[in-house]
Structure 1
Amino acid sequence: MVFGRFRRHTERPGGLEELRDQVQRARAAADRAAAAARAAEDEAETERGGDGASAPPEAPTGRRSARYRVVIAAAAVACLGAGALAVQTTLDHQSARRSVAADARVLAFTEEAVARLLSTDTDNAEAYVEQVLADSTGDWRSEFEQRKTATIETMRQAGNRTAGRTLEAGIEGRENDTTTVLVSATAQTSPATTDPAVAPQPQVQQYQIRVGVTMVDDQPKLSSVGFVQ
C-alpha cells in the first residue's frame, strides 16, 4: 500500500450548499405565495368597495373565497416548508461541525500518542511505559502490559535516547467507535557514548504506522498499533 500524504486530512461536510439553495428556493416560493395572497385580498377588497356601499367589508364569497383560501393555504405550506428546511440545514450543519471537530481531536491525539510511543529514554523507562499504557486501551494495552517489564529492561540495556516525531496523519476509515489513522513518523536515536567528543551521529528511522483510535469515556485511546510495509 502506498501511504501518500495525509496531513490532518478530515472529511469535509457535504451537501450544505445544496441545502442552503433549497432553503432559499423555499423562501422565495413562500414570498411569492404571500404576495399572491395579498394580491387576492386586495382584489377582494376592491370588488367589495366598488359597489359604493358603506357597509363593513365581508369575507370573500363564492369562487373568490375559495381562491383566497387556496392562496393563503399555499403561502402557509410554503412558509412551513421553508422553516423546516432551515431547521434541517442548521441541524445538518451543526452535525457536520461536530464531526469535523471530532476528527481533528482524534488526529491531534494520534500525532501526540505516536510521538510519545516512539520517544524512549533509558533514564525514564518506567515513566515511558506508564505513559504508553495511559494512551492505550483494548488489545493493544493488554499486549503492552504483558511485555512492559521486558520493555523496561531493553531500554535500560540499550542506553540510548530516541526522539519521536509525527510528520503526517490522516483518517483511513471508521468502524463503530474506532477510527483507523495512518501516520508517518520519524524516530531519531542518539546512541549511548561515554565520550561526547567522539559521539556518533544520530540515526533517523522513518515509520509508517496504522493505528486504531477508540473513544473510552469520551477520551481517545490507541486500541491497535501496526507498521505499514
Structure 2
Amino acid sequence: MPIQDDSRENQMIDRFNLTVPPDRKRADIDAHLKIDGLDIPFELKSTTNGSIATARDFGMGHIEKWRANQIHWLFGFYLTEEDKADYFIYCSPDDMEKWYSYMEAYIKPDIVLGENLPGHVDENLVQVILGDKDVYTKDDAFSIMKKQYTAEEYTRLMDADDGYTLGRMTEILRARAEYVIARGSTLNNPHIPANFFNGREHIVEEPAIKLRELVRAYLRNKRATEEAAA
C-alpha cells in the first residue's frame, strides 16, 4: 500500500475509533467496529479524485469474501487536500450489493470460459505443441508449466522413466490452461465510479458517533427484514 494511502487509512481508523488486530496481514480485513457486543468488519478506502480503487488482481474471490464476511465499507474523500478528508461515506453490505452484482456480471464470461475451456485440452493439442513422443521430458513439462511447479512437483508427476506419458502431459497442459485463463479473468484494480456515491450521506461532524448511528440503523432494518421474512 502506498505510504499516502496507508496514512489516510490510519487517519480513518483514528477518527472513527476502529480497531485493527496487531497481526493483521495485507489480505485481512482492514478494521473492525466494536458496537453493542458485535464486531463489525470494515473495508477502508480513500480517494483524491472521486472514484475508488478496489483491489489488484480482482476476481470473484474478492466478492465472495466481502459477501461472506458481511463487510461494511468506509470511504474517505480527500478531494481538496491529500492529507485532510473533505468528508466520508459509509456503505453497508446491502449498499454495496449493487456494485458486487455489476462486477460479478462483468467478469462472468471469463469465469465461464475458465471453467469450461481447459476441459477441451486433449492429447492432440499436446502433440501440436510438443510433438508426438513416447515419453515427454522434464524440459517438455517445464516449457508448459514454467515456474508454476516446484522441482519436487515436476518429479512427483512423472509417470514414466524420467519423464511423462502423453496422458500425464495432457493433464499438465490442462492445468496450465486453467491457470492462464484464471489469471486472465482477474481485473487490475477496478474502480468504484464516483457516481456510485451520488446522493449518499456525507459524514463530516462527529464521525465516530455518526458511523455508529448509521451502523445501528442498518442492523435494526436488517433484523426487521429477517423477522418479517421468517
State the TM-score, normalized to the length of structure 2.
Answer: 0.23
Which has the bigger relative contact order, CA under 8 A and spacing at least 6?
A: 2
> Larger strand proportion, structure 1 or 2?
1
